[in-house]
């Protein structure tokens, strides 16, 4: 006797033994029972499966486990918790875990996930059941057997015996080319250094110890060739040497070992003409910038420096060679 026959017997016994219920009411009541039964059956009509692509593997080989959840009707799936698959379980380890894939057929979604597993324990093992919670109800998959075979090493050969490391024989042809290339590079480098030194050769102006004014002025004029060759440091070195030497001779002092600051302090004591002293100090500072700060002066600045040096020497010579006045 099926479900609907039992319902019919109960209803006939309880409700329809009297003539109070008409045939129309009886038909409507049956319709409500059928509709309620259909809705209740659809509420929990889901299908869960666990399938593997290989039943037999070797030690360490991978195989795929596919967990699938699909409805058996058009009712939507209300997933509370997805399949609980840990990273490792008895005799198996998870190698990789794919994303949950969604497939839509006739406006109804089904879900699946591929998990790659491996095993290092030989024998036949059973995958555990996996649980998914849908609409507050737990659904479990079936258990799948997997046979893990040991690795067959009967056909493997032994390792080759260890031999001594052979030293490679030198390739004389390549070595000859290397020697030629290195020789060419060395020759070009030496030639470049010689050319650079020739271009930067210092123009040395002989400085005479005769500090009469005419030879000193001529030596100042000769310094023009130095700055025209861009030898600015040598130009200002010789320029200041001429000025200091002439000043030491006129003032009868020795300032060869003095620093610039010490030298300026001595000049302030010896030279009372403030304008002449300021002009000479400016020339000393400019020379310091070129020699030590690597400043690059212009040609006009170099010409002006020669003019300032001549003015300093000429005025210093005039101040220390005035004729003595006779007392009355």
Q: What is the mean pLDDT of residues 32-37?
A: 61
* Region of residue 107 (phi > 0: left; psi between -120 and 50: alpha; otherwise: beta): left
Query: Domain residues of the chain, as ranges?
Result: 3-43, 46-149, 171-199, 213-319
Look at residues 120, 103, 91, 121 and name the one whose alpha carbon lies nearest to residue 66.
103
Mean pLDDT, the chain, whole residue set: 79
Q: Is the pLDDT of residue 313 over 70?
A: yes
CATH architecture of 46-149: Sandwich (2.60)
List Cα–Cα distances, 113 to 90, 131, 288, 292, in angstroms. 20, 13, 81, 77
- The residue among 97 and 323 whose pLDDT is bigger is 97
Write the pLDDT tens digit of every residue in 164-210: 677 666 666 677 888 888 989 998 888 888 887 766 554 444 444 44
Q: How confident is the model at residue 8 (pLDDT cuts 50, 70, 90)?
A: low
Q: What is the pTM of this model?
A: 0.37
Q: What is the mean pLDDT of residues 65-72?
A: 86
Q: How confident is the model at residue 13 (pLDDT cuts 50, 70, 90)?
A: low
Q: How confident is the model at residue 103 (pLDDT cuts 50, 70, 90)?
A: confident
Q: What does DSSP assign to residue 248?
A: H
- The residue among 117 and 4 whose pLDDT is bigger is 117
Write the pLDDT tens digit of every residue in 130-173: 999 988 888 889 888 999 998 766 666 665 666 667 766 666 66
């Amino acid at each position: 006797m099926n479900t609907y026959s039992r319902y019919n017997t109960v209803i006939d016994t309880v409700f329809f033994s009297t003539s109070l219920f008409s045939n129309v009411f009886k038909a409507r009541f049956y319709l409500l029972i059928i509709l309620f039964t259909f809705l209740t059956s659809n509420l929990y009509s889901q299908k869960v499966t666990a399938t593997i692509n290989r039943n037999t593997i070797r030690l360490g080989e991978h195989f795929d486990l596919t967990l699938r959840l699909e409805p058996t009707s058009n009712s939507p799936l209300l997933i509370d918790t997805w399949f609980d698959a840990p990273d490792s379980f008895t005799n198996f380890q998870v190698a990789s875990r794919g994303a949950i894939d969604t497939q839509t057929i006739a406006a109804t979604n089904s879900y699946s996930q591929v998990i790659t597993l491996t095993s290092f324990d030989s024998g036949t093992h059973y995958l555990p059941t996996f649980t998914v919670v849908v609409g507050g109800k737990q659904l479990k998959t079936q258990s799948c057997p997997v046979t893990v075979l040991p690795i067959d090493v009967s056909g493997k050969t032994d390792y080759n015996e260890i031999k001594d490391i052979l030293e490679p024989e030198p390739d004389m042809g390549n070595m000859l080319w290397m020697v030629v290339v290195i020789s060419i590079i060395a020759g070009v480098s030496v030639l470049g250094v010689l050319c650079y030194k020739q271009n930067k050769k210092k123009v040395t102006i002989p400085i005479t110890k005769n500090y009469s004014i005419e030879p000193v002025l001529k030596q100042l004029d000769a310094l023009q060739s130095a700055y025209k060759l861009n030898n600015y440091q040598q130009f200002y070195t010789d320029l200041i040497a001429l000025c200091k030497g002439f000043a030491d001779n006129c003032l009868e002092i020795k300032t060869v070992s003095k620093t610039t600051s010490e030298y300026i302090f001595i000049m302030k004591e010896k030279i009372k003409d403030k304008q002449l002293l300021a002009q000479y100090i400016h020339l000393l500072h400019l020379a310091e910038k070129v020699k030590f700060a690597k400043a690059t002066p212009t040609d006009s600045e170099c010409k002006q420096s020669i003019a300032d040096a001549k003015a300093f020497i000429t005025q210093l010579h005039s101040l220390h060679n005035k004729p003595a006045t006779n007392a009355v």
